[in-house]
Amino acid sequence: MKPKKKKLWHRIKQDRFAYYFILPTLLAMLFLHLSPIVQGVYMSFLKLNQFTLQQYLLAPFIGADNFYKVLIDPHSPIRIGLFEAVRNTVIYTIIVTIGTLAIGMVVALMLNRKFFARPLVRTLFLFPWIVPTYVTGLLWGIIWLKQGGLVNVMLADWLKIIPFKPSWLSGPNTIWAIIIPTIWRYWPLSMLMLLAGLQTIPDELYEAADIDGASPWRKFWMITWPMLRPVWFILILFGLIYNTYSFNIVIMMFGFGAGYPGEWGDLMMTNIFRNSFQLWNFGTGAATSVLLLIVMVAIVNVWFTYFKKSEDLR
Amino acid sequence: MLAFLALTLLPIGWMVYSSLKDSTDIAIGKVGLRRAGRDVLMIVPERENLLIFTADGGLNRYHAQDLSKLKHHSLKTQATSYLLEDEYVWVASANRGLVRASRAKLALVDEFKFPLWGIDMNKVSTSYIKKQGYDIFVSLEYKDFDDVLRFDVRQLKFMKLIKGAKSQYFPEAAKAVIKEFPDVEGEIFSEARDGDVLYMGTGGGRLYKYDLNSKQIVAQALLPQGHLLVRWHNYIDMWRNVNFGLYLKNSLIICGFTMVFAMIFATFAAYALSRFRFPGADIFSNAILATQMVPMIMYLIPLYIMFVRFTIMTGIPVKGTYPGMILIYSAWFLPFSIWILRGFFAAIPKELEEAALIDGCSRLRVFWHIALPLAIPGIIATGIYVFLTAWDELMFAWVLTDADTMTIPVGIRLFVGNYQNRFDLMMAAAVVATLPVVVLFFMLQRHIVRGLTAGAVKG
């Protein structure tokens, strides 16, 4: 036992330079990442609202009552709101993740050929991704306007596809009103990554497939898609995380940063934010975010395990 | 593919287009730009010709006999009023100030901006102008604007503002006279009598010649259309309507310092992680990755209460200060920066540093003189990316800033709310907020794209 300990100490001493280098980061991580998370978890067991805010961590300890309110209590308004938020977030995350990947893939394939002014076209395609997300929210808030919005003007006045001007920012249409701008904002990133991936695939694979007389469809599923595996693994992973935590676009679109997104537009983040900073229920807000974190860790783990397993199979 | 490109860029075009429109037009869905009204404000007989001045700044000379056009020049003004002299035409307008035009040539001579600040020029409905001695007096119809501007013709400059003198100098300002006439379309805005002939100009830009003997209209003409109202002025008004300059400054300060601090700490940490296999390195790098999974709001709730409590306990303000925001942002962007920078350091060959170590260089010198210069492009690209992401951050800023330290995403919401609905100014502000991002991104596009895609392609 003793020699091993000595060896460890020796190694620490030898690499002390590295410790000096990570020290500031370590401190920042401890005080501004770890400590808030621990406090957040603890807060989820406290009755913390605007009356008990002054006591903070000494606020009444109520055990799992916050979780009961959030998950089980049939009379709690928070639970009803949360159910809608969870449903919307699931729909939103799945459609946005798949949508960005699909559009990004199609455009990346188109851009992977040589044609006139290709760098310019690629750069122009990146434009939506450069627009800040809060601007995206405000902009699409104007585009979805019932009377003057571009969508209604195009569909009803110019193309005459629909006989009336529907309301996009209220009712069940809202879910589309938040999905489409998010896909619009994020697909260029997928395209960029997939394009970089496409350029690493050796041409010989396609030449060999051509000799075998494979159809383009088959070539895509047998060569392109498997070769892009590391790219879409990362894209789906980060898509799941970031879209579940999506906030800016949705909150800015409804009432231009002041409104409630409605029962079909409310996401987890907007729900928790409203509970915490507008209704001042910090306890239930913290409880909801703890639950969200647990679900997220589970999802990421499942995705990693699936990926590892299928990697081993290959 | 070009069609898809057009569809992709359409919303951005709509944003820029909306920023040049009128706020009401955006709300009601009027797609085209409005044209300036060509109401005939003044008709002056001039030997065998007529001088006709319209509300869109149109200076016209028409033949009096058959009302045919001889000359047309548009000053493209809004809320115009005219004062005619022997040699010059003085034009008071909302968007161009006081303009002097030559009467003979009907062309611009010079223009003088009003010494006014804080007036939303798109909302000025009318202007008034009159002359006494060597002074020209101008006033505007705008909310409760009650002052008169005095312009000295000999010195050609504006003198001191005369406060609250509008009703004294322009008693007719309160009255509005609407005249109508049989067989004349629209309201009559101006008329002029020349012998037995009466000339009438209407709101829609029509001109009639009425013979008083035969009691009938002998000729009529339609004046040239007004110019398109492109509201460039939105880009000036947005700075006055809300305190956008302050928000821009706050965003620049907070994001700039965040970028610097995050890059300093991240460079050290990333170098340590990529060069040393020290005990705890795995835990540390896994912890960095794990922070990306934690929802932002989970930090925000405790941080908010910590900030408030800290100020109560020590009296040092943290919430709503630059250092507080910079601290939070730097910490928040650290893990991501370390992760990207680690890739850049890993790409630098180790042999160079090993050789230097054998030659007797200290660890610090090796880092400072060999590794750091090679990593500078990567550090700049990552720094810019951090800047852009901080520029885009709303949730922390919403809760942790106050009126003096508000950043753009928080402040831009004030254009539309309880007191006003200024979609046009909001879109102008959105364009202004997007511009720095576009410029930075395209300057460093290659580096950022390489930094982002490198990790993904390697797997």
A-chain residue closest to B435, CA distance: A131
What is the least distance, in Å, from the CA of B30 to any CA of chain A? 7
Please check whether residues B164 and B275 belong to one and the same domain.
no
Average pLDDT, chain A: 86
Q: Please give the residue that has the higher pLDDT: either B391 or B352.
A: B391
Average pLDDT over residues A104-121: 89
| Cα–Cα distance, B181 to B209 (Å, whole number) | 12
CA distance A94 to chain B (A): 17
- Domain match, B223 and B244 both: no
Q: Give contacts of B394 with chain A, Cβ < 8 Å.
A: 133-134, 247-248, 251-252
Does B174 share its domain with B270?
Answer: no
The reply to whether B397 touches chain A by the CB within 8 Å rule is no
Domain end call among B183, B208, B227:
B227
Domain end point (choices B202, B227, B252): B227
Across residues A86-101, what is the average pLDDT? Answer: 95
Q: Is residue B77 part of a domain?
A: yes
Task: Provide the pLDDT for residue B459.
Answer: 40
Say whether both B249 and B207 belong to one domain. no
* Orientation angle between helical segments B244-275 and B322-346, nearest 10 degrees: 40
Are B261 and B332 members of one domain?
A: yes
For A238-282, the pLDDT digits (tens) are 899 999 999 999 999 887 777 788 888 889 999 888 888 888 888
Asked if A256 lies within 8 A of B305 by C-beta distance, the reply is: no
Q: Is residue B346 classed exposed, middle or buried when 0-12, 13-18 and 19+ CB atoms within 10 A define those classes? A: middle
| Long-range contacts of residues B192-196, Cβ cutoff 8 Å, at least 24 apart | B192/B43, B192/B44, B192/B45, B192/B50, B194/B45, B194/B64
Position B6 in a domain: no
**What are the helix and strand counts (H, E) for chain A?**
17, 0
Q: Name residues whose C-beta falls within 8 Å of residue B348's C-beta, 6 or more positions apart in sequence.
A: B371, B374, B375
Nearest of A300, A184, A308 to residue A244 by alpha carbon? A300
Same domain, yes or no: B279 and B352: yes
Q: What share of chain A has pLDDT > 90, as a percent?
A: 26
Same structural domain, B100 and B122: yes
Does the ipTM exceed 0.90? no
Which two structure tokens, joined as six digits, stand for A223? 């060569």
Tens digits of per-residue pLDDT, B302-340? 888 888 888 888 888 888 889 999 999 999 999 989 988
Q: Which pLDDT score is estimated for A6?
A: 64
Position B185 in a domain:
yes
Do residues B389 and A248 lie in contact, with contact meaning Cβ atoms separated by under 8 Å? no
Query: CA-to-CA distance for B441 and B456, rounded, in angstroms?
Result: 20
Q: What is the pLDDT of residue A314?
A: 59
Contact (CB<8Å) A25/B394? no
Among A151, A256, A288, pick the best mutation site for testing chain B contact (most B Cβ within 10 A).
Answer: A256
Within this chain, do residues B221 and B282 fall inside the same structural domain, yes or no?
A: no
pLDDT at residue number B453: 67
pLDDT at A181: 95
Please report the pLDDT score of residue B325 as a whole number. 92
Give the CATH number of the domain where residue B285 resides: 1.10.3720.10
Which of B1, B453, B449 has the alpha carbon at shortest distance from A228? B453
Closest partner CB to A18 (pick from B10, B276, B306):
B276
Instruction: State the Cα–Cα distance between residues A102 and A109, nearest whole angstrom.
Output: 11
Of B29, B277, B338, the CB nearest to A148: B29
Instruction: Please tell me whether residues B158 and B266 are part of one structural domain.
Output: no
Domain co-membership, B188 together with B241: no
- Residues B257, B159 within the same domain: no
- For B:18-37, CB contacts with A below 8 A are 18, 25-31
pLDDT at A1: 45
Shortest alpha-carbon distance between residue B394 and chain A (Å): 6
Binary contact (A147, B27; C-beta < 8 A): yes
* Cα A30 from Cα A39, distance rounded (Å): 12
Overall average pLDDT of the A105-128 stretch: 89
Long-range CB contact pairs, A255-259, < 8 A, 24+: A255/B416, A256/A138, A256/A141, A256/B413, A256/B415, A256/B416, A256/B417, A256/B426, A257/A134, A257/A137, A257/A138, A257/B412, A257/B413, A258/B413, A258/B416, A258/B417
Query: Can you give the pLDDT at residue B454?
Result: 64
Residues B106 and B184 in one domain: yes
Q: What is the CATH number of the domain that holds B58?
A: 2.40.10.480
Domain total in chain B: 2
What are all long-range contacts of B418-423, with beta carbons under 8 Å and residues at least 24 apart? B420/B241, B421/B23, B421/B27, B422/B23, B422/B241, B423/A142, B423/B18, B423/B23, B423/B26, B423/B27
Question: Mapped to the 3 state alphabet, what secondary structure does B77-124 carry?
Answer: CCCCEEEECCCEEEEEECCCEEEEEECCCCEEEEEECCCCCCCCHHHC
pLDDT tens for residues B226-279? 888 888 888 888 888 888 999 999 999 999 999 999 999 999 999 988 888 888
Scanning B426-445 for CB atoms below 8 A from A yields 426-427, 430, 433-434, 437-438, 441-442, 445
What is the distance in angstroms between the Cα of A126 and the nearest Cα belonging to chain B? 10
Q: Which residues on chain A are in Cβ contact (under 8 Å) with B265? A: 24-25, 28
Cα A165 to Cα A148: distance, rounded to the nearest angstrom: 10
The distance of A208 to chain B (nearest Cα, Å) reads: 23
* pLDDT at site B178: 65
Looking at per-residue confidence, does A177 or B370 come out higher?
A177
pLDDT greater than 70 at residue B162: yes
Give B428's contacts in chain A (Cβ within 8 Å): none
Q: Which of B194, B227, B260 is the last residue of a domain?
A: B227
* Alpha-carbon torsion angle B157, B161, B167, B170, nearest 10: 0
Contacts of B459 in chain A (CB under 8 A): 229-230, 233-234
Total length of chain B = 459
Q: Which residue type sits at B197?
A: V
**Minimal Cα distance from A198: which residue of B?**
B457
Please compute the mean of the pLDDT values over residues A67-87 and round it to a whole number. 83
pLDDT at residue B260, as a whole number? 95
**pLDDT average, residue stretch A111-140:** 90
Residue of B nearest to A197 (CA): B457
Domain interval for residue B362: 235-458
Residues B19-76: tens digit of each pLDDT: 998 888 888 877 888 888 888 888 888 888 889 998 888 899 998 888 888 889 888 8
Q: Do B296 and A245 touch (CB under 8 A)?
A: yes
Set of chain B residues whose Cβ sits within 8 Å of the Cβ of A35: 302
